[in-house]
Structures are given as C-alpha cells and as structure tokens.
Structure 1
Amino acid sequence: MGSFNINIDRTGKVFHAKVEGTFSPEDGMESVKAYQAKIAEITVSEYEIHIDCTELNVSSPSTLPILEACFQMYKQDGFNKVVLTLAKNPILKMQLGRVARTVGLENCEINEV
C-alpha cells in the first residue's frame, strides 16, 4: 500500500510531498485528489515541488499511467522546479527519469541520498 503526505512551506515557496511504499491505482487517485486540493491554496508558478521518494517502491506497469499523469500535472501546473529525492535505487531512478522524459518535464532534478 502506498501513502503520501503533503506540506507547504509558504516562506520558502516549496511544496513538499512524501510518497512511500507501493501505490495501487486507488492510492494514486487519492494522492492526486489531495495534491489538487493543496495546489488550490498557492500560486504554483512561484513554487518548487520537492518530492521525497526515499521510501517509494518501483511502480508496477499497471500504475505507470497514473505516475505519468502526475508528472504531467506538475508540468501543466507550472512549478518552477521539480526535485525528486531517492534512496540509492537505480531501477527507481531510471523509471522516474524515463517518465519525466516521456511527459517532457524538463525542469525535473533527481537526487540520490
């Protein structure tokens, strides 16, 4: 089961999200609803989005379309920068990088800790 947590740093202009576990399509849809409710509170173009993926598992083929849709939202919503932080996981890094390229998310930075 996947979980997520969202916090907004209004002073630093950073939208923080943390995702963990393995997301089902239902988990993905719940995270999208929470994301949309939170971005309604800010001027997205003034913010960076930082997503902590250190405890995220590689996505299954059935959930990749939802992951792509999320990356497409980040692009369309107009965040200044998208920063993904991962634990050392070459497969997840490759998967997230491929999804970012697929949707044309050019302002995406992937960091390993």
Structure 2
Amino acid sequence: MGKYALKTDPENRILHIQLEGTFSNEDGLKSIQAYQQIVNPITSSEYSLQIDCRKLNVTAPDVVPLLESCFHMFKSDGFQQVSLALENNPLLKMQLSRLGRKAGLENMLIVPSF
C-alpha cells in the first residue's frame, strides 16, 4: 500500500510531497486528488516541488501510466524546480528519470536528500 503526505510551505514557496511504499492505481488516484486540492489555490509557477521518494518502491508496470501522467501534470503546473530525493535505489532512479524525460520535465533534479 502506498502512502503520501503533502504540505505547502508558503514562506519558502515549496510544495513538499512524501511518498512511501508500493502504490496501486487506487492509491495513485487518491494522491492525485490530494495533490490537485493542494495545488489549485497556489500559483505553482512561483513554487518548487520537492518529492521525497526515499521510502518509495519501484512502480509496478500496470501503475506506470498513472505515474507518467503525474509527471505530465507536474510539467503542466509549471513549477520552478522539481526535485526528487532518492537513496540507494538504482531501479527507481532509472524509472523516475525515464518518466521525467518522457514527460519533457527539463527542470527535474534527482538528489540524495533535501
């Protein structure tokens, strides 16, 4: 089961997302709804997006299209910077890097931690 937590930091203009576990399509859809509720009232082009993926598992093939749509959503929302924190998970790093490139998310960075 995938878990997520979202928090805005208006003072520093950062949207923090923490992801954990293995996401199903249902978990993914719920996280997208929560994301949209958080993003709608802010001007996302003035914010950076920091996603903590250190406890996230590699996404199953049947859920990859949903994850890919998230990357497209991040791009269309126009964040100044999209940072993904990853530790010692080369498969997840490859998967997320590929999806970011495929979505054209040129302002995406993969970092060891925030």
What TM-score do the two structures reach when normalised by structure 1? 0.98
* Structure 1: 5+ residue stretches without partners: none
Partner of 1:106: 106
- 4+ long deviations beyond 4 Å: none
Amino acid at match of 2:80: N
Partner of 1:36: 36
Amino acid at match of 1:94: M
Partner of 1:91: 91
Deviation, 1:41, is 1.9
Deviation, 1:112, is 2.1
Query: How many Å separate the matches in 1 of 2:109 and 2:15?
Result: 15
Alpha-carbon displacement from aligned partner over 1:36-55 (angstroms, at most 9, x marks no partner):
00001211000000000000
Deviation, 1:57, is 0.1
Query: How many Å separate the matches in 2 of 1:80 and 1:95?
Result: 22
Aligned residue pairs: how many? 113
Amino acid at match of 1:51: I
Amino acid at match of 2:87: A
Matches within 5 A, 1:55-94: 55-94=55-94
What TM-score do the two structures reach when normalised by structure 2? 0.97
Amino acid at match of 2:22: T
Amino acid at match of 2:109: E
Partner of 2:27: 27
Amino acid at match of 1:23: F
Deviation, 1:67, is 0.5
Alpha-carbon displacement from aligned partner over 1:78-100 (angstroms, at most 9, x marks no partner):
00010000111111000000000
Matches within 5 A, 1:4-19: 4-19=4-19
Query: How many Å separate the matches in 2 of 1:9 and 1:31?
Result: 18
Q: Identity of aligned pairs, percent?
A: 49
